[in-house]
Structure formats: C-alpha cells, structure tokens
Amino acid sequence: MRIPKRPPDREKLHRDLLEQPKRLLAVIEASTVAGQGEKYMHWDRLKYYKRPDDLSLEEWWLAIKLARTRTTKSIPLVDTKSNQFTFGTPDPVPEHLHHIDQDAAGRIEMAQEQITNPATRDRYIYDSLVEESITSSQLEGASTTRRVAKEMLRTRRRPRDHSEIMIRNNYLAMQRVRELKDKPLTKAILLELHTILTTGTLDDPSASGRFRLPDESVKVYDNYNEILHTPPKAGELPKRLAAMLDFANGKTPRYFIHPVVRSIILHFWLAYDHPFVDGNGRCARTLFYWSMLRQGYWLCEFLSISQIIRKAPVKYGTAFLYTESDENDLTYFILYHLDMIRRSIRELHEHISKNTKAMRQTQTMMRASESLNHRQLALLTHALRHPEAGYSLRSHSVSHNVTHQTARTDLYTLVKRGLLTQRTIGRTFYFYPAEDLERRIRELQ
C-alpha cells in the first residue's frame, strides 16, 4: 500500500499569503465554490484534476480547505498529539444517508417477501453471518476457501487450522453481536467480543480479552514493512476507552450525529486506538455492526461489509491514511464507508432477487409436490445452483434453525423422492443432489 503524500501546511500557506493580499483575496473568493460538485479530493490526488487557471496547486488546496472547515465538526477522538478529529457532510454524504435510512432502517418491498418472512429470514441471517465471518477473517490473512469454510460452519465441525479458527470465531462474535444489540457498549462487552474473536489465534493466548500492555509495541505495517500507523501508548488506553464508550452510547458530543456516521466513526476509533495486541480490525468491524443494529438499522443483519472491502482492500487502507494525513479529517473514511454500505445493500437486493427467481422456478416445477416445505425447496434451489454441494443433518438444522428430527425428516423425504442421494463418511450421513436433479424435479410433476 502506498503512503499518500501529506498536504502542505495550511497555516504556513495562509501566513505566506498574508504578504500578498490580492492572492489571498483570490483564494478566499475561490473558497466559496471550492469542492462544489466535485469529489472529496485528498492532496495526494489533487494534481490530477482541473483547478482554476489563476491559482497555484497550493493556493487551490488552501481554498478547498477553507471551504471544508466552514462546515466541519469535531468529535472527542484525538490523535497522539492531542489534535481532535473532525468530519464534514459534503455531497454525496446526505444522499448516501438518505438512501441508507430508507433501505436499511425502513421496510423495503423486496425484503418483505424473503427477509421479513419468518419462514425464510433465518436462512438469510445465517448466510450473511457466514459470509461476513469468512471475508472479515480473510482481510486479516485467513486463507481457507469459502467452500471449506462454509462446510465447517454448516456442519459445526471443529476447525482444523488457524484460518478456520479465525472464521469460526468471527461467526460466533457476529452471533453474539445480535444478542447484544439492545445493550449499551461497556468495557466488559468489548473485552468479551475480543475474547470470542481471538481465542486460539494469538501467539500469546494471554493477550486474548485484554488490552495491550506498556511493553507490547504494536504498529501497523504495510507489505513492505513500512510503518503505516503508530497507535497511542498503552497507558493512555483507559482514558481513551472511556471516551470511546461515551461516544458509542450516544453520550457525546452534545450535537446530533447521524447514527450511521456515528457507527462509522466508532469503526475508525477502535482501529485508530488499536487497543489490542491483535484482532483490532475484526473487532472494529464487529463494533460497527453492533452500533448499526443498536440504532435500528435491522437490514445490517443481512449485509456483509467485509465482502465489499475485500474486493478492493487498498481503498479501505487508503481511507484510513487519508484521514490521518489530512489534519484528522474523518470525511474520507466516512465517504468510503457509506459507499461500502450502499454497495452491500445493492448486492443484497441482487442476491434476494436471484434467490427469489430461483425459488419461484423451483416452486413452479414442483406444484404437483405440495407436501414439500420451504426448507426443502430452499435446499433444492441451492442444489440446482451448486450440484457439488453436500448436506448433513447438522448443516440443515443449523441453516434453518430447526431441530435434528425436523432436519432428518426433511432430508430423508427428499431421498425417498429420488432428489437426494445418501452417503456415509465416517459416522456422518451426507446428502448430495441426485444426478439430473432438474429432470427429476420435472418428472415429479
């Protein structure tokens, strides 16, 4: 990851222009329109974009910064030099927030059929938990394939290696977040989540569920061993943690912060303070989910933010670096994260639409088989798209949140109808799609 160039010193630019009143006046006049209708540009990228002909690159940057500071607000988070972090709400922040409010906190028509239906919502929650657990772990270095990871979680077998332990832990932590969404964040809850996330994954097992110690040097490096971030000293963590908890629970600041923006800042805050020896990124993303669910954004139960981040991880890291390098301006990170949320919502819509279409096709083909229930239809729909998939009594039970006996009845009914075949591996019964499954379904009619 390339470290962005730091912007020129804004105060020095301003002092230099005090000796050139006409140039300063031109900058001030330009600041009235600077940034309007344009991307929220960092100094590192500004030179690639058009600027006013009568201003130098440095003068245009100063005009942009003057325009931004008129609307920025500060938060209780400070950097290692006690400088406060700030954020603004330029376009398209209001538009992003409007759509997220509608799509993630309201009732969306597409979701009502599949997500709000108790008969099918457990499957969608399970799928989202699995996907977020896998991709969040992969961002931290887990290398297990998605197929193997899903098989492990669905069958609840014991993890075989470090990567699988990370994924299992993430899955358990996401489940716990759902249970904690109505509770205020406390130090005990934060440490509990970290314990769940890191058990069995740290070189020093004693570092799980506790903050780093003064003699534990923690820094964030890039792939070339260059330092990207140096967190605050361990001795400062108790005070910083108290401030973070007050912010997470809405006690500070006194002015209104949009709930989604608050959740995003909380994500950044924990990642910046880096209070743990390891597992900070996973813990930060878990807190984001807790905050969104606590503030009524119920659709986040079905989203996988890490899945989007993993497609372009450099942009994720760059959003952190832009914020730190440009006077602690959190707007870069907020804009990035808002875009990730909206992309996750769009992907969920597409996923629901595809599943709904496949489900309807299966249901149409199986009208003559009215005795098959929604769980069996869901399994057959999945099997048509994944003919190599295997199912077990445990995986079916976990996926649909039903008892072992119900899962047994579901699967053996499909075996009797010739839609699944049964094999025994060790002491476990596995069920696989029959050959020519689609033809067999048609023949049932």
Q: Render pLDDT for 70-112 as a digit per residue (tens, 0 to 9).
A: 999 999 999 999 999 999 999 999 999 999 998 887 654 444 4
| 220 φ, ψ (degrees, to nearest 5) | -105, 125
Rounded distance, CA 27 to CA 10, Å?
A: 12
- Kind plus residue range of the DSSP H or E element containing 325: helix 313-325
Per-residue model confidence (pLDDT) at position 353:
76
- Is residue 165 located within the same domain as residue 288? yes
Q: Which of 192, 181, 170 is nearest to 291 (CA)?
A: 181
In this prediction, the residues of the chain whose per-residue pLDDT falls under 70 are 106-123, 358-359, 361-370, 445
Per-residue model confidence (pLDDT) at position 96:
96
Rounded distance, CA 57 to CA 336, Å?
A: 25
- Kind plus residue range of the DSSP H or E element containing 93: helix 93-100
- Is residue 181 located within the same domain as residue 311? yes
Question: Is the pTM above the cut of 0.85?
Answer: no
Rounded distance, CA 343 to CA 316, Å?
A: 14
Strands 391-392 and 428-433, how do they pair?
antiparallel
Mean per-residue pLDDT of the chain: 89
Per-residue model confidence (pLDDT) at position 206:
96
Q: What CATH number is given to the structural domain containing 114?
A: 1.10.3290.10
- Is residue 37 located within the same domain as residue 85? no
Rounded distance, CA 199 to CA 170, Å?
A: 10
**243 falls within a domain:** yes
Are the beta carbons of 433 and 391 closer than 8 angstroms?
Answer: no
**56 falls within a domain:** yes
Are the beta carbons of 270 and 287 closer than 8 angstroms?
Answer: yes
- Is residue 61 located within the same domain as residue 92? no
- Is residue 336 located within the same domain as residue 187? yes
Sign for the CA dihedral angle at 250, 68, 33, 52 comes to: negative
Structural domain of residue 275, as residue ranges?
A: 76-349
The number of angstroms, rounded, from the C-alpha of 3 to the middle of its chain's C-alpha atoms is 23
Residues whose CB is less than 8 angstroms from the CB of residue 82 and which lie 6 or more positions away in sequence, other chains included: none
Per-residue model confidence (pLDDT) at position 222:
86
- Is residue 155 located within the same domain as residue 53? no
Domain count, the chain: 3
